Structure 1
């Protein structure tokens, strides 16, 4: 099944300031693409402090909670099921303008300066049938464009931020919206060819029969994980054996057109449950790791098959771009990089539904308004951190004293085993902390993994941490594969840690010998680069453990006040606000992570893997 080519022949609008908006079942976001002021993007949960925050119109939310129609009832049930409870919700009539003003902070722009808004009728809060002319009232000078479908947005999300003028484009998630042009069916995967400013759709594969996101979600739910927890399944998979995979694999059909088939959940879940029971809040069993292994291996094969179909259709195209929620699966991404036959891979830094807003803004600016294409080289797209005067007030309000610190000072603290928060400049738009909202630690000792997990992040001990490494030295420490495709600036690819060096990187080497790597160039984050450089000079290891600046169940911090509150509420030793350092009065005593039920559980999983 193929969709229409959707690109207009000529720009239709001279909009200088384009706003993209989205609110889907995974969260809400806003993005600006301005001819004069560049690119900004921010998810709503960073602004509200409530993870997975959604926007709804007042009428829409009332109808959904009351089950006004079959559609409303289905939406309520789907969100309840996905998140194990209805997600945090905010009324667009009240919350949208303050959120957008925060996004525009520091710019000489207001709502009246927005020339174009691009969103979609498939998004909550912005559907014409629900909100009418609300956007036109809030943004009086903006043309409002709503014509894009869910997977069309993913296609442009994959391609427009990339550096390529021609690329294969693969999108994959659970599904988009019901489409009248497809008899109310929903798309779960698309295979396309992007060239210049055109998007040619080659194949569209449908939910539920060929939905990789649905299949992964069903297995993850059996493991006790909900929407947004898919990374837990991927991390747990490395502790599993292939016993269940070998039983299930014959039922997986991989087809020449890039689609796949697998029995419906009612048929395969009883077999999975016999292997290991459905997990709610209880302990993980070795069988649960085998279940995670099975679905992780199958999703890798599904995605690799789809990329292979694109390669066969486009044998002279060197690059492939990925988007959709499944593109957050860094192990599957790496299988595509290594085995699909393309020379270059680009993954949008926020490839899931929360990245729709940026995709909409880029589409409006570059496709509709004729702005020149420009790669989005970094993910530091949030509004700038507080001015120095505002930061002084925040520090005074919280009773925090600071001192200037050099990179050598910070490196020495990290080498002593201190765990430091780093807050600077605009926040990362995507789900990975890349050095502006990060928690940093020494990557050398395996104990640091358990300390940060149990005493700082308060999450499961089986979940690995990622490294950030100086780009110029990355190949020395990690097996990056082919030269020319060895960058991972958004922490969305997995590479083997070089075997001879794994003992020096115990805190970031996963149980299978790999790491989800961030490669860093000096020009992208000079201060973090300088810290890593100093740590390398001191220890011989130009690598740091880098995890997101938040606690379990909370979004990544957005403001300096958020950072201070997070720092004070956990076992972090110090906080860097730019180059200003504050330390707790005495070194934090990190209790022995091995003295816990979670550590015993982890040891059972490791023993299970070694027994294989």
Structure 2
């Protein structure tokens, strides 16, 4: 069975710009349906998946994923009419709207109505028969499926938490015997994702994009300074219940579309909001820390309740909130569950994968779904493709190194000398993290390397940490990872502590609070990067590298050789290892 899954809501921001003129760009970003993507599942296996942003260059775009769809079909060697089913990770219904609101009615008709997806297919794939094969999948169910069916777990608890789905913001499921059953939902009016996003907005960042910045900033704050204020805004109740009465302060349509009502309350409590790009004060750090604590407290409250009620010992977890690595690390370290799985595409792009997996599981349950290892499901290029592009460049020097041992030894030596290396190999990763195929790599030992990459290459805020990638065999030596849990860190979605005795040796990848967002690599998952880590470890005694995404500020992760070379030059990196080619700026390599 061949199933295509898609995510995103085309025209969502454009509708808001037309209907509500005069808002700020940050306010227009507050719209549902970003992170559009496509995924192809064939007989229970993900064979291709990619976010539309990688093709258009518009970060977090919600545009109809026509380029991603075409890529997936090309990878599968099929056309649109060869598909058995098409799923979409939203299933809005007009009955869920507030009656009599013309704005919401028009938005449903022009953006949310599943019929609009058929319109976009007809526009981009004229003549293809889609209607009989198209199935909307509720948003949280698609998230849940992206985690449960990819995990390989038989029986587990499944948590979905985000800004909102159709009408809900948190759902708890059981995943038992291949079936998902909902136990509990929290309506959008009490959304943890929206709460965290509004604090992100208050602190001068972009909502629905920069929450990870607030997460990093929180580590610099006093987690207790504003604890009393947050407890007034977020109430933990008996059983699995919690409430976020703060969000009710967005009283009218304009406030709900901009969160001006909630922001006014935050300014009353904490002082003026930070202007974008303005100086960061200690109170900003303390506010971020308090919001992080509130999020973690609510998540653990829900999870502990359902762990006791169901007796299920494993957890799958997805939704935008599941990209909060600090909260994920706390959940894992709490030992409430034996195993925790978060898919690499935990955000809305992952509902493309999830909607396809859900349809497979419900329509063809006799064919098992293949658990995932690494999500290298995107564009890849042969050595010949790369050479063809490099032959057109006059601004770089390149040479091919066909001996893999020579390539690895040379790259390890360059890293040991302090070079910053762009690393472009194999299929592009799915999800927001660079997992060793579209990475910038560097020596992790000196804190000054972090500052160098932040200031000169990535041109981003200096408080933001970089992640380490480490061999599975060495992970528990350098980081506080329990033996047997190394593979849970494969997707760079959990923080843990760098062991005290190694913090000075890992200054570029250890955050201010002693934590690190670790990615572990096994030889079976990424043989080339694993071998490079071993070579670097042989030179330095540390089989760890700094690993950050191969992109610059405001740019999606690179997809093609052209983007790789252009970004390499703009970023001022020292060398690019792209396939079996070594590239340096100008001169002689």
Q: Tell me the TM-score normalized by structure 2.
A: 0.84
Aligned counterpart for 2:69 among listed residues 100, 105, 121: 100
Matches within 5 A, 1:469-480: 469-480=470-481
**Structure 2 counterpart of 1:345, from 334, 340, 355:** 340
CA distance in 2, matches of 1:301, 1:38: 35
Tell me the equivalent position of 2:165: 176
Query: Partners of 1:415 and 1:452 in 2: how far apart?
Result: 16
Q: Distance in 1 between matches of 2:313 and 2:427?
A: 33
CA distance in structure 2 between the partners assigned to 1:273 and 1:236 by the alignment: 22
| Greater CA drift, 29-38 or 368-377 | 29-38
**Counterpart for residue 18 of structure 1:** 3
Secondary structure of the 2:150 match is coil
Do 2:315 and 2:340's aligned partners in 1 also have CA atoms closer than 8 Å?
A: yes
Matching residue within 155, 162, 167 for 2:151: 162
**Any idea what the Cα deviations from partners look like across 1:454-490, whole Å, max 9, x if unmatched?**
1111110000000000001100000014644663010
| Cα distance between partner residues in 2 of 1:324 and 1:229 | 15
Q: Which residue of 1 aligns with 2:100?
A: none
Partner of 1:296: 292
Quote the offset at 1:276 in angstroms. 4.3
Check if 1:217 corresponds to 2:197: yes
Unmatched tracts of structure 1, length 5 or more: 1-15, 56-91, 178-185, 589-612
Q: Residues 571, 205 of structure 1: CA spacing in aligned structure 2 closer, same or farther, 3 A cutoff?
A: same
**Alpha-carbon distance between aligned partners in 1 of 2:4 and 2:238, rounded to the nearest angstrom:** 39
Q: Which residue number in structure 2 is paired with residue 255 of structure 1?
A: 237
Match of 2:86 in 1: 117
Q: Give 1:403's match in structure 2, choosing from 400, 407, 429.
A: 400
Greater than 6 Å deviation, 4+ residue runs: 123-126
Any idea what the Cα deviations from partners look like across 1:542-596, whole Å, max 9, x if unmatched? 00000000011110001111111100111211101123211235799xxxxxxxx
The CA deviation at 1:272 is 5.1
User: Is 1:39 equivalent to 2:28 in the alignment?
Assistant: no
5+ unaligned residues in a row in structure 2: which ranges? Answer: 10-32, 93-107, 250-261
Instruction: Report the count of equivalent residues.
Output: 523
Q: For the residues of structure 2 that align with 1:236 and 1:528, how far apart are their CA atoms?
A: 30
The aligned residue for residue 606 of structure 1 is: none
Alpha carbons of structure 1 residues 142 and 264: separation in structure 2 relative to 1, 3 Å: closer
Secondary structure of 2:392's counterpart equals helix
Write the deviation string for residues 343-383 of structure 1: whole angstroms up to 9, x where unpaired: 11000111111111011111122322343121111111113
d(CA) in 1 for partners of 2:577, 2:544: 18
Give the CA deviation at 1:277.
2.3
Asked whether the 8 Å contact 2:340–2:488 carries over to 1, the reply is: no
The 8 Å contact of residues 73 and 80 in structure 2, kept in 1 or not, is answered as: no
SS in 2 for 1:487: helix
The correspondence of residues 167-316 of structure 1 with structure 2, limited to 5 A, is 167-177=156-166, 186-208=167-189, 210-226=190-206, 227-251=208-232, 252-265=234-247, 266=249, 270=265, 275-280=270-275, 281-315=277-311
Matches within 5 A, 1:142-161: 143-161=132-150
RMSD between superposed Cα atoms in Å: 2.3
Separation of aligned partners in 2, 1:415 and 1:146: 52
Corresponding residue number in structure 2 for 1:318: 313
1:30 aligns with 2:16: no
In the aligned structure 2, how far is the partner of 1:295 from the partner of 1:336? 16
Q: Tell me the equivalent position of 2:545.
A: 544
CA separation of 1:539 and 1:418: change in aligned 2, threshold 3 A: same
Contact between 2:191 and 2:244, CA under 8 Å: does it hold in 1? no
| Cα offsets for 1:141-193 (capped at 9, x unmatched) | 7842324211111221221110101110111111112xxxxxxxx21111111
Deviation of the 1:388 alpha carbon: 2.8
